[in-house]
Structures are given as structure tokens and as C-alpha cells.
A = this chain, B = another copy of it.
Amino acid sequence: MSDMVEKYRREVCELHGELIRWGLVAWTAGNVSARVPGTDLMVIKPSGVSYEDLTPESMVVCDLDGVPVDEGASPSSDTGSHAYVYRRRPDVGGVVHTHSPYATAWAATGEPIPCVITAMADEFGGEIPVGPFALIGDESIGEGIVETLEGSRSPAVLMRQHGVFSIGKDAKAAVKAAVMCEDVARTVHIAKQMGAVEPISGADVDSLFDRYQNVYGQKKGPAGAASRERAGAAEGKDD
């Protein structure tokens, strides 16, 4: 059990490096969490600590109400929203929050990112939806995430005038969804600056999404494929 928690402390710590690497965060404005499988625990970034100062030990272990199980560092101020998602979506093993610039620009306009390129069909299965404007401090951000994603195959949601929340079967898949969300947010923004863009037809989106979620990548057992489909984000499946 304790080994399990240590494993997720290390993984969550390391994955914050991907937020920097792919340009998703300024200063300390982004966080990753993971559910510890088979428990009612989650591991998340401590609040207000620089990425280069993060260590596995500094990660904060919380219950699924977002309450730290130990004395020590305060967890991310977004912990309540992550915890809400884990409570309502048992298939979700990882959550990521960023203010990545292009995706947050879409969030500022309140417009979903239309599915106009095949990479979006592959990863998001359609447009990336916009959730409600919600203040931090109660369950309204968590509710907005869960309700918006309920009607979508997308593993990412643009919370209006705020930023991105993404989910995955594990933390790495949620990070991947956050990376791809920023990538397509940028590409589609640039395309829109040049003129009209045309959504890919629903049938073609379905075909691309199905293939990407079920055929792409290295061979895995069927159980993995099933949970992957539910959580919406395919791990390591995109070359």
C-alpha cells in the first residue's frame, strides 16, 4: 500500500515536468493529480511550489474529499475540483489543470474548438467543449467539468474564462490530453485567422476516433482498451 502511494508520488511529480516541456504553464500555474488505484486516495501538487522544487515527498496525499491525510504541505488550491471528478468518475485515474495559452484564449471567448483536423477526431472524438464560468471555493468547478464531459467524448474541457481541465485513465493520459488540447487549440486558432474552417463530418470523426482508440498503439489486453475508451484518453497512442 505504502509502495503504491510512493509510486504515484513519483509519477505525479515527474509528470509536472511535461507541463513545462510542452509550454502549458507559466510560473506554477498548473497541476497534475492521480488517483491511487484501489484506494480512496489521490496524489496532487502542493500549492504554490515551483516546478523545479517539486519532489516525490512534497506531493500531497489527500482523500477523495480533497482533505490531506497527513500534516504538512497544503495541496493545490484546485484540489477540490480534482477530488470532485474522482468521486463522480470512477473510470478516471488522472486529472490535469492548466491555463495553457491558446486553449485558455478559446476559453476566454467561450467558443468550443471545432473538430476541423484529424488529430482532433483521433484524440477528442469531436469538438472540445466549453464548461461554465465558475468560481473556485465550492463544487461548482468540479460539477462544471463532470457535466460538460458527460455529453462528450473529449477528455478535455475549456472552463469558461479560466482554463483547461483534462482527464484520463491515468495521470499520463490526462497530461497527454492537456498537451494535445493546447496543440489543436493553437492549430485551429491559426487556421481561423486565415479564413473559414470546415468541421470534419460526423461519420468521418467516428471512424477516426474508433480506429485511434482501438487499433492504434502497441498491443494491449482488451480490458485496458475498454477502460481507455471510457476515460476518453488513449495513453501513448499518437504517432
Closest-CB distance, A66 to chain B (whole angstroms): 14
Q: By the criterion CB–CB under 8 Å, are B29 and A119 in contact?
A: yes
**Which A residues, 185 to 211, have Cβ-Cβ distances below 8 Å to chain B?**
186-198, 200, 204, 207-208, 211
A56 at the B interface (CB under 8 A): no
Q: How far is the CA of A104 from the CA of B217 in the complex (A)?
A: 22
Please pick, from B48, B76, B99, B183, the residue contacting A119 in the complex, using a CB distance under 8 A: B99
A215 at the B interface (CB under 8 A): yes
A26 at the B interface (CB under 8 A): yes
Chain B residues lying within 8 Å of A27, measured Cβ to Cβ, are 22, 176, 179-180, 183, 238
A163 at the B interface (CB under 8 A): yes
**Which A residues, 70 to 90, have Cβ-Cβ distances below 8 Å to chain B?**
73-74, 76-78
Closest to A74 in B: B218
Q: By the criterion CB–CB under 8 Å, are B192 and A189 in contact?
A: no
Q: By the criterion CB–CB under 8 Å, are A48 and B239 in contact?
A: yes
